[in-house]
Amino acid sequence: MVIVSSRLGPNDAAEAGPFGAFLRQFRKNRVGVVGAVLVILIVASAIFAPFVVTHDPTRIMVGPRLAPPSLDFILGTDQLGRDTFSRAIMGSRIPLLAASVSLSSALAVGLVLGLIAGFGPRWLDNLLLLVFDTIRSFPSIIFALAMIALLGPSLASVILVIATTSMPIYARVVRTQTEAQRSSEYIAAERSMGAGTTRILAVHILPNVLGPLMILVSMDVPAVIAVEAGLSFLGMGVRPPTPDWGAILNDGYNYIDRTPWLVIAGGIPIVLATLGFTFLGEALRDIFDPKLRKDL
């Protein structure tokens, strides 16, 4: 009797299952791979920033003020003698923290409200739509300036503003997806078999709306980073001496005729983060949207 082993090798195991199929599709998208590499580098620099920085980013040094790039100071120093490279590395934590907390909060609230609006009674749907439209009717920048003027400039205020303005977008996407599936045949079959509303939402509708949401969130990260940096540039974000990309840009703008490396140190990370998350979002869209997949 011949026994055939069903054990998969390391490569076969990696290629098996939905995750393996996702990896195969993702590796074919070179732009997505570049975006993933940039995102990994930025996130890793934020996580391991204390081990990467060469100087204390908040330490004021009298001697090397506005010093040009050198072996001791890779990106020079600012007007207070602080190391620009260390401030740029440590500054990556603030925009990534703002993006992760604000978008995850907006996603959680928008997901729940969108499911309720799409699967609930008509009067509740109309009420929630009125709330969504009311929030979105305010220009985002004006709303942000008003909220920060009311609450005071801080990272918490920036997160609250971004989460509040992003939530209606996610809620509307979830509502649309839920309404499209609510009248489908498999939902009617589940109802006829006695499935409750909670089971239908959790088992059947929720997995189908998470894909578009993940794509939307990844595409929104660059916008959140830009908003956070813009508010810090205007002095309405995190307070000094906390290192932040927007604050570095503000310092560079004030001394741009003498120290262009400050603008470069604050601008390049924003550009790389924008490119990385945008490329990653486009790759996820190509993979999860059947209409855009080239292998079909």
| C-alpha to C-alpha distance for 16 and 195, rounded to whole angstroms | 32
**pLDDT, the chain, mean:** 80
* pLDDT, tens digit, 9 for 90 and up, residues 108-148: 999 889 888 888 788 888 898 898 888 888 877 788 888 88
Which of 2-16, 31-45, 76-90, 246-260 bottoms out in mean pLDDT, i.e. has the lowest? 2-16
Q: Which residues contact 24 (CB under 8 A, 6 or more apart)?
A: 15
Q: Grade residue 16 by pLDDT with cuts at 50, 70 and 90.
A: low
pTM equals 0.79
Q: Grade residue 217 by pLDDT with cuts at 50, 70 and 90.
A: confident
Cβ 79 vs Cβ 254: under 8 Å = yes
Whether the pLDDT of residue 1 is over 50: the answer is: no
Which of 10-24, 36-50, 187-201 bottoms out in mean pLDDT, i.e. has the lowest? 10-24
Task: Count the Cβ atoms, other than its own, within 10 Å of residue 243.
Answer: 24
Task: Count the Cβ atoms, other than its own, within 10 Å of residue 285.
Answer: 19
Q: Which residues contact 140 (CB under 8 A, 6 or more apart)?
A: 165, 227
**The predicted structure's pLDDT at residue 106:** 92
Q: Which whole number is the average pLDDT over 13-25?
A: 65
Longest dimension (CA), the chain: 83
Using CA of residue 114, residue 115, residue 121, residue 124, what is the dihedral sign?
negative
Q: Grade residue 101 by pLDDT with cuts at 50, 70 and 90.
A: very high
Cβ 291 vs Cβ 44: under 8 Å = no
Residue-wise over 123-154: b if at least 16 C-beta within 10 A, else e? Answer: eebeebeeebeebeeeeeeebbeebbeeeebe
* pLDDT, tens digit, 9 for 90 and up, residues 243-286: 888 888 888 888 887 788 888 888 888 999 989 988 888 888 87
**DSSP notation for 6-34:** -PPPHHHHHHSHHHHHHHHHHHH-HHHHH
**DSSP notation for 101-148:** HHHHHHHHHHHHHHHHHHHS-HHHHHHHHHHHHHHHHS-HHHHHHHHH
Long-range pairs, 47-56, Cβ under 8 A, ≥24:
49/89, 49/90, 49/92, 49/93, 52/89, 53/83, 53/85, 53/86, 53/89, 53/90, 54/83, 54/85, 54/86, 55/82, 55/83, 55/85, 55/86, 56/83, 56/86
Q: Pull the structure tokens for residue 73.
A: 């100071």
Q: Which whole number is the average pLDDT over 90-103?
A: 90
* pLDDT, tens digit, 9 for 90 and up, residues 142-166: 888 888 888 888 888 889 888 988 8
Cβ 266 vs Cβ 248: under 8 Å = yes
Q: Which whole number is the average pLDDT over 173-190?
A: 78
Q: CA nearest 25: which of 277, 285, 273?
A: 285
**The predicted structure's pLDDT at residue 149:** 81
Q: Which residues contact 278 (CB under 8 A, 6 or more apart)?
A: 35, 219, 222
SS (H, E, C) 58-95: CCCCCCCCCCCCCCCCCCCECCCCCEHHHHHHHHCHHH
**The predicted structure's pLDDT at residue 296:** 37
Domains along the chain with CATH numbers? 34-288 (1.10.3720.10)
* pLDDT, tens digit, 9 for 90 and up, residues 224-245: 888 888 888 888 878 878 888 8
User: What's the N-to-C CA distance of the chain in angstroms?
Assistant: 42
